[in-house]
């Protein structure tokens, strides 16, 4: 796969900028006036939506914002068919109407979630020279990074990150797996395995809800042994001018599905709903699930990926863990034949995930421009 070997400009760590005590951010991080968070709107639910229980209470300025659906998976394997069907129905509605939802009672240990997040926060609190030993390049993005895309002069996001491959194991670069503290490799490997299992359970529900065989999407991704999985740990430092920049620019995720462990204390994720932006209020011990572009293609746009973005905070930093559950990179992804009819023809041409993700690796986050460019023109 063609890729760029080096960053086009010297890398500046955003955390170092934030720690320097600057009162205004460098021009490289300032969005054009019309694209700033302060000049776009947030969705506020009507009284009717509150009356139907869709509002989710939030502290301070978020208190009147609707939240994405929250789904309890406790009875997913229950012998009670009615309870199971209720979960499937809620997942189907969330996938069709939102493209985003949170899950609780998902089977991943709360202690494992907490310790994984704390280990990564510990990494970002290390001295810069320690972190730089793991610096990444745009060839694979694996390691410690501070930008997405290789366009010279591009406007940058106010965030640093660490990117790791989990699966298939042949893609892992062990040199990028931190050697400190001693527990790191064991905890992070266990976290990856457990969250990948959760992804498999959700993928089966999506397959059944689409009227496909339960293993259809998993097989389209390459099967249990070949499915792709990688982790991006996002660090969003506090920012003196949060209204001028983003922690992560608006984009849809290029892969199959994203399973996000949010920061417990600081909200920042916003999801597009029509022409508005919904602030996601994380539920304790929940994962945020969102549909990626590959499932939009495979489902022939019955399920759609959704634009989202991250705003930053002037007083607090944030850490979040995004696990990307992806197809094997060399498989052709195209609409499922079972979902293509005369009334609803195939909307997308076949493309491998390797070809597809090159776009964001070269250009950075660009809304939904990429998946929309694949659609057949009438």
CATH at residue 268:
2.60.120.330
Q: Is 11 within a domain?
A: no
Report whether pLDDT(55) > 50.
no
- Residue 304 within any structural domain of the chain: yes
| Assigned domain for 362 exists | yes
C-alpha neighbours within 13 Å on the C-beta side of residue 61: 8
Number of structural domains in the chain: 1
Closest CA to 325 of 349, 289, 351, 359: 289
- Answer yes or no: is pLDDT of 4 > 90: no
pLDDT of residue 56: 33
pLDDT digits (tens, 9 = 90+) for 338-373: 999 999 999 998 989 888 877 666 666 666 666 666
Do 356 and 293 form a contact (C-beta atoms < 8 A)? yes
Residue 290 lies inside a defined structural domain of this protein? yes
* pLDDT mean across residues, the chain: 87
By mean pLDDT, which of 25-39, 195-209, 331-345 is the weakest?
25-39
Lowest mean pLDDT among 41-55, 197-211, 364-378: 41-55
Domain assignment of residue 36, yes or no: no
CB atoms within 10 A of CB 293: 27
Specify if 214 maps to a domain: yes
Q: What is the pLDDT of residue 373?
A: 66
In-domain check, residue 248:
yes
Q: Does 272 reside within a domain?
A: yes
Helical ranges in the chain per DSSP H:
14-19, 47-51, 81-97, 110-124, 128-132, 184-209, 216-220, 293-298, 353-363, 369-374
Q: By residue range, what is the domain housing residue 172?
A: 65-374
Could you give the 3-state DSSP secondary structure of residue 49? helix
> What are the tens digits of pLDDT across the range 279-314?
998 899 999 999 999 999 999 999 999 999 999 999
Residue 50 has φ and ψ, to the nearest 5°, of -60, -45
Least Cα distance to 257 among 310, 204, 309, 212 occurs for 204
pLDDT at 39 over 80: no
Q: Could you give the percent of the chain with pLDDT greater than 70?
A: 86
């Amino acid at each position: 796969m063609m890729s760029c070997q080096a960053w086009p400009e010297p890398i500046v760590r955003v955390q170092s900028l934030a720690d320097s005590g600057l009162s205004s951010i460098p021009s490289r991080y300032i969005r054009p006036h019309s694209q700033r968070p302060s000049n776009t709107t947030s969705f506020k639910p009507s009284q009717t939506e509150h009356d139907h229980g869709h509002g989710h209470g939030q502290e301070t300025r978020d208190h009147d914002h609707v939240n994405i659906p929250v789904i309890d998976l406790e009875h997913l394997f229950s012998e009670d068919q009615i309870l199971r069907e209720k979960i499937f129905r809620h997942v189907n509605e969330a996938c069709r109407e939102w493209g985003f939802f949170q899950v609780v009672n998902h089977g991943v240990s709360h202690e494992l979630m907490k310790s994984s997040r704390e280990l990564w926060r510990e990494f970002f609190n290390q001295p810069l020279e320690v972190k730089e030993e793991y610096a990444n390049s745009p060839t694979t993005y694996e390691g410690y990074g501070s930008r997405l895309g290789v366009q010279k002069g591009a406007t940058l996001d106010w965030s640093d990150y660490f990117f790791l491959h989990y699966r298939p194991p042949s893609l892992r670069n062990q040199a990028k797996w931190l050697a400190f503290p001693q527990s790191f490799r064991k905890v992070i490997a266990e976290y990856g395995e457990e969250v990948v299992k959760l992804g498999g359970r959700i993928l089966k529900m999506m397959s059944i809800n689409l009227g496909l065989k339960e293993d259809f999407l998993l097989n389209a991704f390459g099967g249990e042994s070949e499915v792709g999985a990688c982790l991006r740990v996002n660090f969003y430092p506090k920012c003196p001018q949060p209204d001028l920049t983003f922690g992560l620019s608006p984009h849809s995720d290029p892969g199959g599905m994203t399973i996000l462990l949010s920061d417990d204390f600081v909200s920042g994720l916003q999801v597009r709903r029509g022409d508005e932006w919904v602030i996601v209020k994380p539920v304790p011990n929940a994962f945020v699930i969102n549909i990626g572009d590959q499932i939009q293609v495979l489902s022939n746009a019955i399920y759609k990926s959704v634009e989202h973005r991250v705003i930053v905070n002037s007083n607090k930093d944030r850490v979040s863990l995004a696990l990307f559950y992806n197809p094997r990179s060399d498989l052709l992804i195209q609409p499922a034949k079972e979902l293509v009819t005369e009334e609803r023809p195939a909307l997308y041409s076949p493309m491998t995930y390797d070809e597809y993700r090159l776009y964001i690796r070269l250009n950075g986050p660009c809304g939904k421009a990429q998946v929309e460019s694949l659609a057949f023109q009438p």
